[in-house]
Amino acid sequence: MAMLGKAVRMSRLVNPKSDKMMAITVDHSFSRGIMTGLIPIQATIDKIVAGRPDAITMTKGIAELCWPKHAGKASLLLKSSSYSPVNPTSDVLFGDAEEGVRMGADAVSIGAMMLGDFQAQQIHDIGMMSKQCMSLGMPLIGHIYPKGESVAPEDRTKWENIAYCVRAGAELGVDIIKTTYTGDMESMHMVIESCPARVVIQGGDTCKTLDDYLQMTRDALDCGVGGVTMGRFVWEYDDVTALVVVLRKIIHENYSVKDAKELLMQLENDKDYANY
């Protein structure tokens, strides 16, 4: 029965037509401090939901306070760990899979900053969370990055380091692994080939402009990633709902960057989100 539960939840996370996943994350305040795009958080979530993503990632407290009005409109991904501004390589667990079941989540997620001083504890936590998820039929998402102390900042996009992270996630029983885009399609394809689990990319701070983010999304999908999950890039944009719609069109309807930019301009003018 647990496997049936996982299959049901996974079917809500992954679009059956595109076989891709689209999620927006709003779990940044623990790790990065209060960011203007998340003030007020309820209004930001409302704008995201209006663009109809597959899922939104948030912590349990924000879910209890801000998610009830949107329950059933998108999947809830319950974030159960975080690092902090004063300890950025240690992702600390503060929830479990049972909370995800009680709150109606379609997945729980946990982070890890690999190749550093806290890797052993984070691997242990992922392994224990995987055990809980397997017994409860709950998909597990890992936010796994090569950001430990042994990795220089310029090496965080090396495909070998990212491949290590995603393969480690698969070895530990993670169903969907969120990580960083390497910067080019060839090396990202090698990352995907190294991992039998679904790999999705973050937005992060790897790009500088709207065009860069849209092109990264298009390239990542074309080389085989299983989806895209973004945060700051989306909710720091002037028209959050329009950008969510446009990303959904790229991810699920194979829009080109050119088509996406044209639609974005149109939506920013007419605000006709519901018809797309």
* 213 counts as catalytic: no
* 276 counts as catalytic: no
178 burial type by CB count under 10 A (0-12 exposed, 13-18 middle, 19+ buried): buried
Classify 254 as helix, strand or coil: coil
d(CA 65, CA 84): 22
Give the HSE-up count for residue 176: Cα atoms under 13 Å, Cβ half-sphere: 29
Catalytic residue among 20, 60, 79, 178: 178
Contact 251, 22 (CB under 8 A): yes
d(CA 172, CA 22): 23
Catalytic residue among 20, 60, 79, 145: 145
Contact 189, 235 (CB under 8 A): no
What residues are annotated to the active site? 145, 178
